[in-house]
């Protein structure tokens, strides 16, 4: 992916925050922080992305996924062009769209099923993902850890 693990997790946490999915927002904020995203940025980005200290290159990506989350039919070519003009490739835009779509889906499953978090769960998430931080394929390892595939 053109995005780092931290950037993908940042997008996941951001989309989950836009959706007010506390479980996913918390879990993916933890993972993003483990991969170098500043905790204050994660805390403040929902209220004001441009004032939260987001890298200028990332702002149009966040604008795009927010609009895709809140009003997908209102996306225009100009929205995509702003992402490209910031220096991201079409592949990067597709990856941002994919992360956004996955988390809109997951947020609805988590919220619809009433999944909640607590400090014990968050501590376990942090410990599990800290152990995987330096893995070259953390998503594959996580899928194996939870039994999603062999």
Q: What is the pLDDT of residue 145?
A: 78
70 belongs to a structural domain: yes
Whole-angstrom distance, CA of residue 113 vs CA of residue 82:
36
61 belongs to a structural domain: yes
> What CATH number corresponds to the domain at position 77?
1.20.1290.10
pLDDT 10s digits, 52-79: 999 999 999 999 999 999 999 999 999 9
Q: What is the pLDDT of residue 134?
A: 84
131 belongs to a structural domain: yes
Residues of the chain with pLDDT under 70: none
Whole-angstrom distance, CA of residue 133 vs CA of residue 150:
20
pTM: 0.90
Whole-angstrom distance, CA of residue 83 vs CA of residue 58:
8
Whole-angstrom distance, CA of residue 18 vs CA of residue 15:
5
Whole-angstrom distance, CA of residue 1 vs CA of residue 132:
18
103 belongs to a structural domain: yes
Whole-angstrom distance, CA of residue 81 vs CA of residue 70:
19
150 belongs to a structural domain: no
What residue numbers bound the domain in which 52 lies?
5-145
Q: What is the pLDDT of residue 104?
A: 98
């Amino acid at each position: 992916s053109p995005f780092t693990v931290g950037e993908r997790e940042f997008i996941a946490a951001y989309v989950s925050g836009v959706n007010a999915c506390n479980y996913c927002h918390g879990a993916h904020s933890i993972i993003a922080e483990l991969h170098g995203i500043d905790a204050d940025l994660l805390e403040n980005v929902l209220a004001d992305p441009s004032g939260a200290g987001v890298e200028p290159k990332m702002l149009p990506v966040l604008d795009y996924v927010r609009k895709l989350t809140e009003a997908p039919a209102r996306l225009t070519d100009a929205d995509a062009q702003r992402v490209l003009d910031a220096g991201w490739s079409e592949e990067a835009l597709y990856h941002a769209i994919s992360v956004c779509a996955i988390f809109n889906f997951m947020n609805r499953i988590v919220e619809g099923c009433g999944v909640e978090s607590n400090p014990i769960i968050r501590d376990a998430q942090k410990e599990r993902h800290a152990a995987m931080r330096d893995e070259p394929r953390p998503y594959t390892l996580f899928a194996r850890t939870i039994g999603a595939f062999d």
